Amino acid sequence: MRKIAIIGGTGIDNPDTLKGFEKKIIETPFGKALCNIGTMSGNQVVFVSRHGVDHSVPPHKVNYRANIWAMKSLGTEEIFATTAVGSLNPEMKAGHFVVCDNVLDFTKSRINTFYDSPERGVAHCDFTYPYCPTLREKVIKCLEKTDITFHKHGVYVCTEGPRFESAAEIKMFAMLGGDLVGMTNMPESILAREAEMCYTNCSIVTNMAAGISPTPLSHKEVCDAMALSIKNMEKLILSFIAYEEPTEAKCNCHHAMQEFGGFKL
């Protein structure tokens, strides 16, 4: 049995696929996390709505540590995260899916580690490749069986939010190699790595970024674009959960903190 967590981003807050799941509040050292727990395709599945079921939590206020800790405490081994993003890359258009393979972190005020206390000590986690290669391969193989337009590579630029980026910032991010811009993959991905869980992200492009888009950006535009892609994302999630084929890619995610004695709850 695989033990999978799905993190639903904007537009994937409360999918129909959760019917029959048990809502459970998990107590963690960092606060409470609301998890939906069930079984699909013979696998344990935990669903977490990143922004809350009513989308009331802005990206810079998400309790990333509580969410990741809760998933770990429930035995999660694989995390599939969804995100809505703007595009800096003219090849990545609205409605396209992108299986990201690296990240640029421009967040400012978020706590980005579990290792910041005398009790836990100091640890320096390798983050060369932020997204698990094994899970990326699974997602790509699932997408290859669909008619969804997708990209196998993409650099995710994570900004602080909640405001959208300036045109000058977008120009800088593009010069640095960024393809997409969003507000939630950090510190989520590094916390998952510290907690020794496999983590991957599939982004849905909702708009061209500031200075590239011919019109001012709005949250309504993002939500409207996501509404057109929700069914495709739900199908992808179901396919990912049911995936049984072997993968060529290997990872070290479950031993990422071995040098420091492994991650302990």
- Candidates 158, 214, 204; CA nearest to 181 is 158
- Candidates 232, 228, 66; CA nearest to 142 is 232
Report how far residue 237's alpha carbon sits from residue 9's, in angstroms, rounded to the nearest whole number.
13
Positions of E strands within the chain:
3-8, 22-28, 31-40, 43-49, 78-87, 97-99, 102-106, 150-151, 155-159, 180-182, 198-208
- 149 a known binding residue? no
- 60 a known binding residue? no
- 207 a known binding residue? yes
- 39 a known binding residue? no
255 three-class SS:
helix
119 three-class SS:
coil
- 50 a known binding residue? yes
- 51 a known binding residue? yes
CB atoms within 10 A of CB 258: 11
Q: Facing residues of 27 across strands?
A: 32
Owner of token pair 């049995």: 1
- Candidates 223, 47, 233, 78; CA nearest to 150 is 233
Report how far residue 11's alpha carbon sits from residue 127's, in angstroms, rounded to the nearest whole number.
28
**Six token digits for residue 228:** 């057109």
CA end-to-end span of the chain: 22
- 63 a known binding residue? no
- 175 a known binding residue? no
Q: Mark the binding-site residues for phosphate, compressed into ranges.
A: 10, 50-51, 83-84, 184
Q: Mark the binding-site residues for substrate, compressed into ranges.
A: 183, 207-209
Q: Mark the binding-site residues, compressed into ranges.
A: 10, 50-51, 83-84, 183-184, 207-209
